[in-house]
Amino acid sequence: MLPAICYRLIMMYRSLVGLLIFTGPVFADPPEIVGSDISANRVSVTVSHPDTGWEHYADGWRIEADNGAVIATRELLHPHVNEQPFTRSLSVGGLPEAPLFIRAKCSVDGWSETRAPLPR
């Protein structure tokens, strides 16, 4: 009887290990820029992201030139689990007149592949 129980336990263990190895991490949607505004030298950006807490949250956004050069970065220091979407601002002097874009970042997936135009 004991060998049968040991066999079952070993098979259960192997199944669990297989699930852990072959099941990839679950990713939330990337952060999305849902609004932005410039007023004088202040840029305000509204971000939406399914923050889950300190382990996965939108942790920044940046202003980029058309060629991808980073002009300014706004770091977000804590999750916004119960505040979605949320707006944060950054004072930036001397923004170029050329087209500008906003790109968001999350603590797990890094910088988003998409960016939103910054309206003038």
pLDDT in tens, 68-108: 999 999 999 999 999 999 999 999 998 999 999 999 999 99
Distance (Å, rounded) from C-alpha 46 to C-alpha 56? 18
Q: Does the domain made of 32-117 have the CATH classification 2.30.30.240?
A: no
Distance (Å, rounded) from C-alpha 31 to C-alpha 64? 16
pLDDT in tens, 23-47: 444 556 899 999 999 998 899 999 9
Query: Please, which pLDDT band fits residue 22 given cuts at 50, 70 and 90?
Result: very low
| Contact yes or no for 56/5 (Cβ under 8 A) | no
Least Cα distance to 77 among 38, 98, 51, 42 occurs for 51
